[in-house]
A and B are shown apart, each in its own frame.
Chain A
Amino acid sequence: MKDAVIAEAGLRHSEEVMRLSRMGAMFPSRLSFLRSLTRRLIADKSNVSRHHWDMDVEGFGTAVYSVDLGGHTYSLFAITQPLDPDMRTDRVIAEAWDSAFVLYDGLPNALEIARLSKNAPLQELGQFTQKDLCLSRANKSVRLFDQIVTSLRNGADLPMGMIQDIGYLMRTTAVYGNGKFGIADRSEIDARPGLQGPFMAEMLTVWLIRTFTHDLVEHVGGGKLPDHVKRQLGIGNSTGLGMAPFLVSHPLLLHSWMICRETALARVRVTEFGLDTAVQLIDLSRRAAQHLLEWNIADPLHHARIVKLRREWAGLTCGLTAELLMAEGALDRLLLQSVAGSEDLQELTVSWMIEPFGDLVDGLTECMANPHEPTLDAAMDCAELGSALAVHCGYATAVDFTAPHATEQFWYVSESKLEPRIGKRHTEAGADRESPLDITRQIHSLAQDLPGHTGPIWQFLAYFPQHRLAVQRVQALADNPYSEIRDNLVDADMAPVDMLRCKLSFFGASKFDPKSQLWTRITLAQGAPLASDLAAGKVWDDWWLPVSAP
């Protein structure tokens, strides 16, 4: 962490922050990656151009959009094709999609367009080069796409209710970066201005796909959508277990994301501000209330949380006045009040409080990239490691792993589809090939084997080589307290959707729509500036928690 200017005592403790249930209650904030990207696009006065559009009347064909960012030109290649409804699935195992995309480094010529036309629809089975920065695919929201096309063709009213409820014309089922399937490694672009932050290339891909979906529905419908309606249309995403392991596999990156957010909160809690900011906070609290009212999902458990949150939010923010908010320590007191409510309330409060303070917190986003991984401090001795376990790892050592429920689940990769899955350890085969996401259990096991050993830790690891990862992770915790999820990821009650929500909130996702404990749909870039807004200079960075257009 390069910018930890707030003393750690002012930060919420990692034991509180890094629990799965709280991570599963997080909301997007102005530190989210899509927000950072759009701020950069605005600052660069980036211009999006449509260089190629070869679509038939049904909207099947190819397109290329380009955008200048940080002194480089990037292009989105898009291809759409007819899809049998039987083939349309959110699953990562799908083999065909309504559309496929490549974020391309530069502007593709005709030869490259031909190459991309052949390979992009194949996705994982395609052949890609270092010019291909991201690979993605998406399916239409068939109901909304068809309804808008019908409205445009007939000159009828747009289905504003559906637009509000669904919020996107297409949803991606994967956005791959960093060398997957032969595309460019992140190291090729991570020093470029505008792409240094985490997942910036992926966010640029998503934002450009959104632009493409607007153009496509207008092309097929033969009419124009008003800009305020287009801003309502973000891009959907369907996310399953594949996203969850990332948070476990990149502990120092997770720490960087989390400590930036916690540092932002710590700064805001003690800052003094004037009338304009107080009024902005009140406006944002009303927007949040409207957002919660418009956020309706089918899953009864998660919808019950939203209903409760609406009540709690009203209780926390009703009666707020600018004078009350400007009183010394008012935000800190509000945050403490929120602790009496649900974790959903607390995390919404955090995102809300951060929102008006761009000058105070936006610089933190420069600290959110972290290419490092934990390494072994071979100089540490066994006694020191024992102390570190005692100080930092009570959450792991306290678990009774002899209880069957504590090891009920296991993570694995399926042989036939190569997709991450979760199995039941005591009733299903395959635990002997478990993916190593059981960090809490590994730390617990280390703590069991360490007592009685003395001397340097590297000698201990000669006899117990299986503990090397756990030792590295424990050592990392001392300086990176937000690097570990402080829960047992193989417990019977562990819900992967909590990990998904944490990561997706950092992307900038909203309208979480969990379909089970294993996967969720979300909306990205809803309310974000349009490419045409950038061109017209009508740009703003005020789209936290999208609400329906007035």
Chain B
Amino acid sequence: MAAGVGTLNVSSNQLKMAVLKACRGIGVPVAQAQEVAAAIAASPLALNKLLAHLAKPISSASFDFSFGVDVQNAHLLRDFSVCADAVSQGAVLVILRGVAKCDVTQALAQYHGVSAEMDNGDLHVAPHQYPAQKSGRCKVDPDDWRRLGVYAALTYVPETDASRLAGAGAGLTDND
């Protein structure tokens, strides 16, 4: 199903929270996950492409600061933030090696106020200005939503008898 022609109507906050959990589920640090979530909430058409990034395993990236920032083995959802930071601090050449431009790179670029364009097979991040974004209610593909939920579920802890009885909040009976 093409992105944006979905049938599930979700609130912006619902989408944001689901993306946040999904990113955390695959190991994206929480601050970066929050930034991805805000970016996707503002650009919900990027949800479908986000799933591909969520499927990629996270491993250590390597950074070379000799001529700006040159990132090898980047995971877009974790490492775009620091590239945007670098651009904001005047780094001229900021490159994510082997990362392709997609809806998610553009959503993140808009969120951070930078551009993200391909050059010689790598993603180059540079200063850019966008009009203010506003998140709102959106339609999503139900299958995308389900798949997002699978990643979000990676943050959930299976229940035990002990956790159900001792670890939860309010009481089991309300008949008083």
Binding site for B on A (CB under 8 A): 85, 88-94, 129-130, 139, 141-143, 171, 173, 178-188, 238-242, 373, 376, 378-379, 412-423, 428-430, 433, 435-436, 456, 458-459, 461-463, 465-466, 468-469, 472, 515, 518-519
Nearest chain A CB to B160 CB, angstrom units: 7
Assess whether B55 is interfacial by the CB under 8 Å rule. Answer: no
What chain A residues lie within 8 Å of B4 (beta carbons)?
Answer: none
What chain B residues lie within 8 Å of A373 (beta carbons)?
Answer: 34
| Chain B: CB-nearest residue to A458 | B85
What chain B residues lie within 8 Å of A417 (beta carbons)?
Answer: 159, 168
Q: Evaluate contact between B163 and A241: CB separation under 8 angstroms.
A: no
Q: Evaluate contact between B163 and A421: CB separation under 8 angstroms.
A: yes
Q: Evaluate contact between B171 and A515: CB separation under 8 angstroms.
A: yes
Number of A-B contacts (CB under 8 A): 176
What chain A residues lie within 8 Å of B134 (beta carbons)?
Answer: 187
Distance between Cα atoms of A141 and B175 in the complex (Å)? 7
Q: Evaluate contact between B153 and A519: CB separation under 8 angstroms.
A: no
Nearest chain A CB to B19 CB, angstrom units: 13
Q: Evaluate contact between B12 and A416: CB separation under 8 angstroms.
A: no
What chain A residues lie within 8 Å of B29 (beta carbons)?
Answer: 465-466, 468-469
| Chain B: CB-nearest residue to A183 | B11
Contact partner, A461, options B12, B85, B158, B169, Cβ 8 Å: B85
Assess whether B57 is interfacial by the CB under 8 Å rule. Answer: no
Q: Evaluate contact between B156 and A436: CB separation under 8 angstroms.
A: no
What chain B residues lie within 8 Å of A428 (beta carbons)?
Answer: 160, 162-163, 167
Distance between Cα atoms of A348 and B157 in the complex (Å)? 39
Assess whether B31 is interfacial by the CB under 8 Å rule. Answer: yes
Nearest chain A CB to B176 CB, angstrom units: 6
Tell me which residues from 88 to 136 in chain B have a Cβ below 8 Å from any Cβ of chain A.
88-89, 134-136
Q: Evaluate contact between A143 and B135: CB separation under 8 angstroms.
A: no
Q: Evaluate contact between A184 and B11: CB separation under 8 angstroms.
A: yes
What chain A residues lie within 8 Å of B3 (beta carbons)?
Answer: none
Task: List 20 A-B residue pairs with CB atoms under 8 Å apart, sorted by A's residue number.
Answer: A89-B170, A91-B169, A91-B172, A92-B169, A130-B11, A139-B174, A183-B11, A240-B170, A379-B88, A379-B89, A413-B155, A435-B155, A458-B82, A459-B65, A462-B79, A465-B32, A465-B79, A468-B81, A469-B34, A518-B169
Q: Evaluate contact between A462 and B176: CB separation under 8 angstroms.
A: no
| Chain B: CB-nearest residue to A139 | B174
| Chain B: CB-nearest residue to A418 | B156
Assess whether B150 is interfacial by the CB under 8 Å rule. Answer: no
Nearest chain B CB to A6 CB, angstrom units: 33
Known: A179-B12, A182-B11. A91 touches B63 (CB 8 A): no
What chain B residues lie within 8 Å of A378 (beta carbons)?
Answer: 85-86, 88-89
Binding site for A on B (CB under 8 A): 9-14, 24, 29-32, 34, 61, 63, 65, 69, 71, 78-79, 81-82, 85-86, 88-89, 134-137, 153-160, 162-164, 167-176
Nearest chain B CB to A161 CB, angstrom units: 15
Q: Evaluate contact between B63 and A415: CB separation under 8 angstroms.
A: no
What chain B residues lie within 8 Å of A433 (beta carbons)?
Answer: 154-157
What chain A residues lie within 8 Å of B174 (beta carbons)?
Answer: 88-90, 94, 139, 171, 173, 238
Q: A241-B168, A465-B32 are in contact. List 16 more A-B contacts (CB 8 A).
A: A92-B169, A92-B170, A130-B11, A143-B176, A180-B14, A182-B14, A185-B12, A242-B169, A412-B157, A458-B86, A459-B65, A462-B71, A468-B29, A468-B31, A469-B30, A472-B31
Contact partner, A429, options B12, B135, B156, B157, Cβ 8 Å: B157
What chain B residues lie within 8 Å of A143 (beta carbons)?
Answer: 176
Q: Evaluate contact between A241 and B12: CB separation under 8 angstroms.
A: no
Known: A435-B155, A456-B89. A414 touches B12 (CB 8 A): no
Q: Evaluate contact between B32 and A90: CB separation under 8 angstroms.
A: no
Known: A187-B135, A240-B169, A472-B31. A415 touches B156 (CB 8 A): yes
Nearest chain A CB to B8 CB, angstrom units: 9
What chain B residues lie within 8 Å of A85 (beta carbons)?
Answer: 175
| Chain A: CB-nearest residue to B63 | A462
What chain B residues lie within 8 Å of A413 (beta carbons)?
Answer: 155-157
Q: Evaluate contact between B85 and A141: CB separation under 8 angstroms.
A: no
Nearest chain B CB to A32 CB, angstrom units: 22
Q: Evaluate contact between A185 and B170: CB separation under 8 angstroms.
A: no
Nearest chain B CB to A381 CB, angstrom units: 10
Q: Evaluate contact between B173 and A414: CB separation under 8 angstroms.
A: no
Interface centre among B160, B170, B176 (most CB of A within 10 A): B170
Contact partner, B24, options A91, A420, A429, A436, Cβ 8 Å: A436
Distance between Cα atoms of A469 and B89 in the complex (Å)? 19
Q: Evaluate contact between B170 and A239: CB separation under 8 angstroms.
A: yes
Q: Evaluate contact between A430 and B12: CB separation under 8 angstroms.
A: no
Q: Evaluate contact between A186 and B156: CB separation under 8 angstroms.
A: no
Known: A183-B11, A458-B89. A469 touches B156 (CB 8 A): no
Nearest chain B CB to A466 CB, angstrom units: 5
What chain A residues lie within 8 Å of B163 (beta carbons)?
Answer: 414, 421, 423, 428, 430
What chain B residues lie within 8 Å of A415 (beta carbons)?
Answer: 153, 156-159
Distance between Cα atoms of A419 and B164 in the complex (Å)? 10
Distance between Cα atoms of A129 and B10 in the complex (Å)? 8
Nearest chain A CB to B64 CB, angstrom units: 10
| Chain B: CB-nearest residue to A374 | B31
Known: A413-B156, A469-B31. A91 touches B170 (CB 8 A): yes
What chain B residues lie within 8 Å of A423 (beta carbons)?
Answer: 157, 163, 167
Nearest first, the 7 closest Cβ-Cβ pairs linking A and B are A240-B169, A179-B13, A179-B11, A430-B157, A458-B85, A90-B170, A468-B31
